[in-house]
Amino acid sequence: MTKKEKVAFAIETLERLYPEIPIPLNHKDPYTLLIAVLMSAQSKDVRVNQITPLLFARASTPTEMVNLTVNEIRDIIRPVGLSPMKSKGIHGLSKILLKKYNGLVPQDFEALEKLPGVGHKTASVVMAQAFGVPAFPVDTHIQRLMFRWGFSDGKNVVQTERDAKRLFPKDKWNDLHLQIIWYGREYSPARGWKLDQDIITKTIGRKSVLNTYKKTNY
């Protein structure tokens, strides 16, 4: 297959498997999505989805959040990990949203990335999932699969994002980044990977990945 044919095969397979694409993190608006994504750093989405209802029952708006102390936020979100840093980020960005943006989440990459605790990936998720702006957030699943499929060398997330945006049509970015995440979880995990169930990698995967898999599992 040519690279173009491999990309087309990946897109067609993902669209067939995931015609309806669930959002991994539970939220009700851009603000609660922003908080959930911030909390998800180095934590599993399932854990975040267990804790956000507890936090949002106390505070689901910037005004309510700044009425909590950093320590109160930290105590609630402690199970997701990195709670000292995340609680300061949540409290700090909520104050800024009230002061500069009338309590609304800005629809702007640069403005989002200036908020405490918000990096490029978090901003990209919010822009894509809350506002429908084309973006391609790269998590560990996308990083792994872009390498396995031979679409990126996987040296860093910046390069992987650049390669993804170059290869995939812009109007499909927001769907594809979610479809790849779900595919990675279900069919091509880092651990317990079974190549016979991973139709995309089995069909288009880079030779070094396939050879390594065979040596390890046979």
N-terminal to C-terminal alpha carbon distance within the chain: 26
Among 108, 129, 150, the domain-final residue is 129
Rounded to an integer, what distance in angstroms lies between the CA atom of residue 193 and that of residue 195?
Answer: 6
Q: Which structural domain, as residue segments, surrounds residue 166?
A: 3-20+137-217
- pLDDT higher than 60, residue 70: yes
Among 79, 108, 129, the domain-final residue is 129
Q: Are 35 and 57 in contact (CB under 8 A)?
A: no
Whole-number pLDDT of residue 215: 77
Number of domains into which the chain is organized? 2
Residues designated catalytic: 121, 139
Whole-number pLDDT of residue 155: 83
Rounded to an integer, what distance in angstroms lies between the CA atom of residue 17 and that of residue 186?
Answer: 11
**Amino acid present at 207:** K
Q: Are 83 and 8 in contact (CB under 8 A)?
A: no
Whole-number pLDDT of residue 218: 52
Average pLDDT over residues 115-143: 96
Whole-number pLDDT of residue 164: 97
- pLDDT higher than 90, residue 197: yes
Answer yes or no: pTM beyond 0.85: yes
- pLDDT higher than 60, residue 117: yes
